[in-house]
Amino acid sequence: MTKKYIVIAVVAVLGFVGFYLYKKYNVPPTIDFTKLELYDLDTNKIDFNTFKGKKLIVSFGASWCPNCIDELNTLKKIKEKSLSGIEIICISDEDLETIVKWRKRKEYPFTFLKMNAPFNSAGVFSIPTTYILNTKLQVKDETVGYIAWENESTVEHLKKLME
C-alpha cells in the first residue's frame, strides 16, 4: 500500500514539474511592452507608445541564437514583397556593442532595441519569442520558437490579425 502512494506522489510531482517546464519554455508570457525599459542603438530611451499606429512584429532574440538568426534572415528576405507597411522590431538583452555588430553584419533593415534587463525579467525564457501587434499595440498573436515566415498562408494569417 505504501509503495502505491509513493508511486502516485512521484508521478504527481513529475507531472507538476513537466507542466511547469512546458509553461515556462513553450508558452509566451503576457507582456506590457509600454512597461519595458528599452533603448535604441544610440542609447536613447524608447517609449513603446511611439509605435502606436503601426503594425508590428516584435521578436525577442539574440545574436548567438540560430533560430533567431534564421527567422530574421527570412523576415529580411520577404520584407519588401510580403511585409511592406509592417515594422519589424528585434529586442535583445545583449550588450549594445554586440547588438550593433549583429545588425550591421547581417544588414537587417529592422529596428533593433536593447532591453536593459535580462529577458527572464519579462517572463521570456526561450527565444525567439515573437509577438504580432496591431496599430493599437494590442498583442494579436504570440509564438515561442521559429515561425515559418516563408509559408505564405502563415504570413497572410498573421497580417490579418494585425488589422
Question: What is the pLDDT, as a whole number, of residue 99?
Answer: 97
Question: What is the pLDDT, as a whole number, of residue 160?
Answer: 85
Dump pLDDT digits (tens) for 131-148: 999 999 999 988 888 888
- Tens-digit pLDDT profile for the chain (163 aa)? 687 777 666 665 555 555 545 445 555 668 999 999 999 999 999 999 999 999 999 999 999 999 999 999 999 999 888 888 899 999 999 999 999 999 999 999 999 999 999 999 999 988 999 999 999 999 998 888 888 888 888 888 888 888 8
Nine-digit cell at 99? Answer: 547588438
Question: What is the pLDDT, as a whole number, of residue 9?
Answer: 64
Question: What is the pLDDT, as a whole number, of residue 3?
Answer: 77
The answer to whether the beta carbons of residues 52 and 136 sit under 8 Å apart is yes
The residue length of the chain stands at 163
Question: What is the pLDDT, as a whole number, of residue 7?
Answer: 64
Question: What is the pLDDT, as a whole number, of residue 90?
Answer: 97
Rounded Cα distance between 12 and 23, Å, is 16
SS (H, E, C) the chain: CHHHHHHHHHHHHHHHHHHHHHHHHHCCCCCCHHHCCEECCCCCEECHHHHCCCEEEEEECCCCCHHHHHHHHHHHHHHHHHCCCEEEEEEECCCHHHHHHHHHHHCCCCEEEEECCCHHHHCCCCCCEEEEECCCCCEEEEEECCCCCCCHHHHHHHHHHCC
Percent of the chain's residues with pLDDT above 90: 60
Is pTM, for the whole model, over 0.95? no
